[in-house]
């Protein structure tokens, strides 16, 4: 902020202050403390495969609806939903004879009467998971084969063939499409309001196109890791192998400094997944 001397016609001197840039609303120390609170909340409260987790085919943790609800309660946020647009073509008159339903919804998260975060989302019946059913070859009928298409999917057990047929029950899924739209807007607004996008991406669980397949052929059951176990080990398999973000490394340096320790020499080469696990582990130890 700088001062400018202004002399109007009456000769009176006025000092005018001019803003030289947008200033932060909190100090660096407060920002670091807020970040560490988020890290501890994630490591102590949120549960993998319940509140967040990896969706097959992705390498990033996705925030699920239960996790978004816990984050909202923790920060004192409550949602208000507004339908921005809705289309209900029950007969398919405007869509080549195929019934079509679409909802666009905005979710605003409030605290003390102030909007802290918003997100607009859409869900419609032309998305593959609603428009089609996926059947294994031993499930299809002759009618299904005349109406459907054989395709190949890839999973944990390798490639396998399925039939994609138009869903005969689309009218029964109108409320499901509406609720899914609300869920997407809510999770997105939570990520925006709590600045949790560094840790999670949008919930992709609802975008799985083969959701009508209960499980892959001969798929082995997976055993979830214990929730309380925060592993500080280099990741393997489906993990985030990107280079650690500068914000995470800076937070690690802050934590090591508070503990009076020197950061490891190879810290700059850590992956994002490994760095976050280390930060969670050190923060949890500091809180005990």
Q: Could you state, in order of their start, the residue ranges of all structural domains in the chain?
A: 59-215
Query: Which residues have CB under 8 Å from 212's CB, separation 6+?
Result: 129, 132, 133, 134, 135
Backbone angles phi, psi at 244, to 5 degrees: -60, 140
* 65-74 vs 174-194: helix crossing angle, rounded to 10: 40
pTM for the whole structure: 0.63
Query: pLDDT digit string (tens) for 82-92?
Result: 999 999 999 99
Q: Is 1 in contact with 20 (CB distance < 8 Å)?
A: yes
**Which pLDDT value is given to residue 246?**
66
Structure tokens belonging to residue 262: 């020197």
Task: Give the phi and the psi of residue 100 in degrees, each rounded to 5.
Answer: -140, 135
> What's the pLDDT at 121?
96
Could you give the 3-state DSSP secondary structure of residue 14?
strand
pLDDT for the residue numbered 238 = 47
* pLDDT on residue 256: 75
pLDDT for residue 109: 97
Question: Which strand (E) or helix (H) includes residue 207?
Answer: none
- For the chain, the farthest-separated pair of C-alpha atoms sits apart, in whole angstroms, at 95
Decide: helix, strand or coil at residue 128: helix
Residues of the chain below pLDDT 70:
1-20, 57, 203-248, 271-273, 275-276, 279-280, 282-288
Q: Whose structure tokens read 């070859």?
A: 137
- HSE-up of 71 (CA within 13 Å, CB side)? 33
């Amino acid at each position: 902020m700088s001062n400018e001397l202004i002399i109007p016609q009456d000769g009176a001197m006025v000092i005018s202050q001019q803003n030289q840039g947008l200033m932060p609303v909190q100090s660096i120390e407060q920002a670091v403390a807020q970040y560490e609170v988020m890290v501890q909340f994630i490591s102590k409260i949120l549960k993998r495969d319940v509140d967040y987790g990896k969706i097959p085919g992705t390498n990033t943790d996705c925030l699920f609806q239960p996790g978004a609800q816990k984050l909202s309660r923790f920060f004192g946020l409550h949602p208000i939903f507004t339908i921005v647009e809705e289309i209900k073509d029950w007969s398919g008159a405007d869509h080549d004879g195929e019934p079509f339903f679409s909802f666009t919804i905005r979710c605003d998260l409030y605290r003390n009467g102030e909007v802290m975060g918003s997100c607009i989302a859409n869900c419609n019946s032309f998305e593959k998971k609603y428009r089609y059913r996926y059947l294994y070859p031993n499930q299809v009928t002759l009618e299904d084969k005349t109406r459907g298409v054989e395709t190949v999917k890839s999973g944990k057990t390798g490639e396998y063939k399925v039939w994609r047929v138009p869903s005969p029950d689309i009218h029964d899924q109108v409320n499901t499409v509406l609720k899914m739209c609300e869920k997407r807007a809510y999770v997105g607004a939570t990520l925006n309001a709590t600045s949790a996008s560094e840790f999670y991406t949008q919930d992709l669980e609802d975008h799985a196109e083969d959701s009508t397949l209960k499980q892959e052929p001969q798929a082995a059951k997976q055993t979830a890791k214990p929730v309380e176990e925060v592993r500080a080990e280099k990741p393997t398999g489906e993990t985030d192998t990107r280079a650690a973000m500068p914000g995470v490394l800076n937070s690690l340096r802050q934590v090591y400094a508070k503990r009076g320790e020197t950061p490891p020499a190879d810290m700059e080469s850590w992956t994002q997944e490994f760095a976050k696990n280390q930060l969670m582990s050190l923060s949890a130890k500091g809180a005990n």
